[in-house]
């Protein structure tokens, strides 16, 4: 799921006008934001990655169900950085979005590392080389993920009614609240945010066009990968591998509970992408 979509759900918690007028007359005390979690003796020396996941999967280090979170979770594993997974959500994030890293060093730091700076931080930790330094095609192919595949993902997860009820509701709505009223409002916000995001690129939403573009993107990625083990013929998987895996794994993961699996059917045509996903899953 897109972190942009989840972030927009914060609008739900805005105060209705009649209640706001009462609060304006009788203002409430405003307390400072919550501090980041304090380190305990059991994880005092460890890096912590805050992502969308549940407590059980966090303990096992299993993949996040959110593509943006999974991208960075996988990347850190690929470059060999140890970290502890912490279940979180956008509202609890000091940056307003997930994922973010709370590094082990320097000690007692309370400065989180947002997703936009995780790669730079990782390179500094392990002195790894990345695709941007190796191949100028990185950005071109990354756009396939950020637009064509992501757009099809947004539709499949949020705007397909069966998938929304079976997958998105279970992952994002149920854990957020037990109030049926709030759940209904939150589900509306999620679906509307996805719709608005798609309408930035299209005059109207046509699922056939979205799926055709995703299929073209899969084909291009399959051609790029060819017979190589990793993208750009790297000896070890890197950021682009993590970016692809973040979608291919979740699209093919039976544990997601997809009811309409059109993206999975399209992806399975490209055997090397399926095998690439299976190889990278061994890191978890």
Q: Which residues form the domain of 202?
A: 134-282
Residues 112 and 139 in one domain: no
Residues 274 and 142 in one domain: yes
Residues 39 and 153 in one domain: no
Residues 140 and 56 in one domain: no
| Section 72-84 average pLDDT | 96
> Residue 7 has what pLDDT?
53
Strands 48-51 and 84-87: parallel
Residues 122 and 48 in one domain: yes
| pLDDT tens-digit series, residues 226-269 | 999 999 999 999 999 999 999 999 999 999 999 999 999 999 99
Boundary residue ending a domain (131, 162, 179): 131
pLDDT at 8 exceeding the cut of 80: no
pLDDT at 25 exceeding the cut of 50: no
> Residue 106 has what pLDDT?
77
> Residue 163 has what pLDDT?
98
Q: What is the CATH number of the domain that holds 126?
A: 3.40.30.10
Q: What is the CATH number of the domain that holds 167?
A: 1.20.1050
Query: Among the residues of the chain, which ranges form H helices?
Result: 3-8, 17-25, 55-60, 67-78, 115-126, 131-134, 138-143, 150-154, 161-163, 180-199, 207-225, 239-252, 262-267, 271-281
pLDDT at 63 exceeding the cut of 60: yes
| pLDDT tens-digit series, residues 179-199 | 999 999 999 999 999 999 999
Residues 125 and 144 in one domain: no
The count of domains in the chain is 2
| Section 275-280 average pLDDT | 98
The end-to-end CA distance of the chain, in Å, is 20
Boundary residue ending a domain (131, 165, 191): 131
pLDDT at 136 exceeding the cut of 70: no
Higher pLDDT, 98 or 5: 98
Place of tokens 């998105």: 168
Boundary residue ending a domain (131, 160, 191): 131
Residues 152 and 122 in one domain: no
Residues 6 and 122 in one domain: yes
> Residue 19 has what pLDDT?
38
| Residue 33 binned pLDDT confidence (cut-offs 50, 70, 90) | very low
For the chain, the average pLDDT equals 86
- Cα-Cα-Cα-Cα dihedral sign, residues 103, 105, 111, 114: negative
Residues 94 and 18 in one domain: yes
Three-point CA angle 11, 17, 20, nearest 5°:
90
Are the C-beta atoms of 103 and 126 separated by less than 8 Å?
A: no
Residues 138 and 252 in one domain: yes
| Section 62-81 average pLDDT | 97
What pTM value is reported for the model? 0.83
Residues 67 and 27 in one domain: yes
Residues 227 and 107 in one domain: no
């Amino acid at each position: 799921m897109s972190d942009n979509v989840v972030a927009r759900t914060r609008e739900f918690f805005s105060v209705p006008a009649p209640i706001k007028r009462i609060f304006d007359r009788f203002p409430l005390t405003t307390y400072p934001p919550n501090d980041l979690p304090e380190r305990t003796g059991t994880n005092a020396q460890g890096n912590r990655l805050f992502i969308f996941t549940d407590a059980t999967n966090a303990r096992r280090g299993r993949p996040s169900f959110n593509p943006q979170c999974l991208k960075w979770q996988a990347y850190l594993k690929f470059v060999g950085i140890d970290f502890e997974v912490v279940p979180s959500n956008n509202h609890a994030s000091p940056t307003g979005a997930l994922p973010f890293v709370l590094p082990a060093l320097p000690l007692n730091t309370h400065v989180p590392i947002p997703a936009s700076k995780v790669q730079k931080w990782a390179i500094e930790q392990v002195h790894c080389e990345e695709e941007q330094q190796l191949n100028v095609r990185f950005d071109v192919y990354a756009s396939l993920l950020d637009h064509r595949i992501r757009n099809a993902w947004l539709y499949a997860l949020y705007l397909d009614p069966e998938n929304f009820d079976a997958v998105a509701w279970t992952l994002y709505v149920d854990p957020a609240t037990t109030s049926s009223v709030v759940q209904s409002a939150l589900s509306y916000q999620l679906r509307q945010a996805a719709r608005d995001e798609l309408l930035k690129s299209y005059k109207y939403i046509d699922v056939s066009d979205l799926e055709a573009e995703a299929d073209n993107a899969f084909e291009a990625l399959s051609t790029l990968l060819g017979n190589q083990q990793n993208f750009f013929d790297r000896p070890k998987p890197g950021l682009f591998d993590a970016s692809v895996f973040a979608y291919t794994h979740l699209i093919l993961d039976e544990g997601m509970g997809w009811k309409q699996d059109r993206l999975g059917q399209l992806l399975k045509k490209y055997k090397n992408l399926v095998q690439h996903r299976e190889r990278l899953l061994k890191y978890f």
